[in-house]
């Protein structure tokens, strides 16, 4: 049974990028004990900015030095702290890969690395794209990797992480995106996928803010008489393989959508799972191709590569016409 989403509503934009700071500030005010480390890109006017001003004894700005920030976050956790570490996404996985691998994952510490502006959402060209991170994280043991679909889910993840043992990556992509879920009254479990729309003809498996675009594509394809289901795979690791196989076998046509390279990310993970499960249906990955992305406004870049409602619907129509 699909959960209640905002599929049929006019959308309000909200920001997962803001939501993590709002939730942390709220948690600090409620008396939760944690440490916040950050790079020099937290604006004072944001909720995260207020957190740093109100709780200076436990908020540490590491400037523009991501490896040191990630390593020091591990050190704080080794000394017993729960650490939330905010890093500008494009400079997290590749700049601090060794520290994520060794200091965070190998030492198996309670650090939650929050990569904001992930995917191509930051704009500014390939130096500011973060489209190889999931491929890296998937190959590192001990990491849990979650990608909130909207601001509300981001808040749920932040709060759930206080009770979660081990290192976690929280990958936040688009800064402002429509809410996927109608409210917070749905069950969220790390590692358990959510069926946002039921479908009998096609299954879309997606993650992050792409979920909303997939839902809009599903709506569009209703006009073609197609029933397209959308699965929110908010946890990339550990992967809910049962859900992948179950919903894929239901339709026999599977599309993955992600703000990430089509190599090594969600699409790769789903392909591996289906292949090992003996799936013989149709399968297509939508995401950033194996090239440095064209320069342009992020929304235009998504359109260029078909990683939004129109492109997703087009791809599915093509698959179904064969």
- Token pair belonging to 127: 């130096």
Asked if 204 and 307 count as a contact pair (C-beta separation under 8 A), the reply is no
66 is catalytic: yes
Strand partners, 177: 14
Closest Cα partner for 169 from 241, 243, 85?
A: 85
CA distance 190 to 236: 10
CA distance 33 to 29: 10
Nearer to other proteins, 59 or 243 (CB): 59
Tell me which H or E stretch contains 69.
helix 66-78
Report, in Å, the least distance between residue 238 CB and other proteins: 20
Nearer to other proteins, 37 or 256 (CB): 37
Strand partners, 237: 145
Nearer to other proteins, 35 or 255 (CB): 35
Report, in Å, the least distance between residue 109 CB and other proteins: 10
CA distance 268 to 319: 19
**CB-side exposure of 18: number of CA atoms within 13 Å?**
10
CA distance 240 to 102: 26
Nearer to other proteins, 19 or 42 (CB): 42
Between strands 144-146 and 235-237, the pairing is antiparallel
Report, in Å, the least distance between residue 67 CB and other proteins: 5
Report, in Å, the least distance between residue 290 CB and other proteins: 29
Report, in Å, the least distance between residue 58 CB and other proteins: 6
Closest Cα partner for 177 from 259, 79, 290?
A: 259
Report, in Å, the least distance between residue 35 CB and other proteins: 7
The CB-based long-range contact list for 219-227 (8 Å cut-off, 24+ gap) reads 219/7, 220/309, 220/310, 220/313, 221/313, 221/316, 221/317, 224/317, 224/320, 226/201, 226/202, 226/316, 226/320, 227/198, 227/199, 227/200, 227/201, 227/202
Nearer to other proteins, 67 or 123 (CB): 67
Active site residue: 66, 81, 195, 220, which one? 66
Nearer to other proteins, 14 or 107 (CB): 107
Report, in Å, the least distance between residue 26 CB and other proteins: 20
Nearer to other proteins, 103 or 173 (CB): 103
Burial class (CB in 10 A: 0-12, 13-18, 19+), 165: exposed
- Residues at the interface with other proteins (CB under 8 A): 35, 57-58, 60, 62-63, 65, 67-68, 70-81, 98-99, 102-103, 106-108
Instruction: Write out the catalytic residue numbers.
Output: 66
């Amino acid at each position: 049974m699909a959960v209640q989403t905002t599929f049929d509503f006019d959308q309000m934009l909200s920001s997962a990028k803001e939501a993590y700071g709002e939730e942390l500030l709220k948690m600090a005010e409620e008396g939760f004990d944690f440490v916040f480390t950050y790079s020099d890109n937290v604006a004072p006017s944001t909720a995260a900015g207020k957190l740093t001003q109100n709780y200076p004894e436990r908020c540490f700005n590491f400037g523009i030095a991501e490896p040191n920030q990630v390593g020091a976050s591990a050190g704080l956790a080794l000394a017993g702290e729960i650490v939330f570490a905010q890093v500008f996404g494009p400079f997290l996985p590749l700049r601090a890969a060794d520290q994520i691998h060794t200091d965070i994952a190998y030492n198996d510490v309670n650090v939650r690395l929050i990569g904001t502006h992930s995917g191509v959402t930051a704009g500014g060209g390939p130096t500011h794209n973060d489209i190889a991170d999931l491929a890296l994280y998937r190959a590192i043991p001990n990491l849990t990797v979650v990608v909130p679909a909207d601001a509300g889910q981001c808040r749920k993840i932040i709060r759930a992480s206080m009770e979660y043992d081990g290192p976690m990556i929280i990958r936040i992509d688009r800064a402002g995106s429509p809410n996927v879920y109608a409210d917070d009254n749905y069950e969220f479990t790390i590692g358990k996928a959510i069926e946002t729309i039921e479908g009998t003809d096609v299954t879309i498996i997606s993650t992050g803010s792409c979920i909303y675009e997939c839902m809009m594509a599903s709506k569009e394809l209703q006009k073609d008489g197609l029933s397209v289901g959308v699965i929110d795979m908010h946890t990339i690791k550990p992967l809910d393989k049962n859900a992948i196989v179950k919903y894929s076998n239901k339709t026999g046509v599977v599309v993955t959508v992600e703000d990430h390279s089509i190599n090594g990310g969600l699409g790769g993970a789903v392909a591996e799972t289906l292949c090992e499960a003996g799936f013989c249906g149709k399968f297509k990955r939508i995401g950033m191709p194996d090239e440095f992305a064209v320069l342009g406004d992020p929304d235009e870049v998504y359109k260029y590569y078909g990683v939004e409602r129109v492109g997703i619907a087009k791809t599915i129509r093509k698959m179904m016409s064969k």
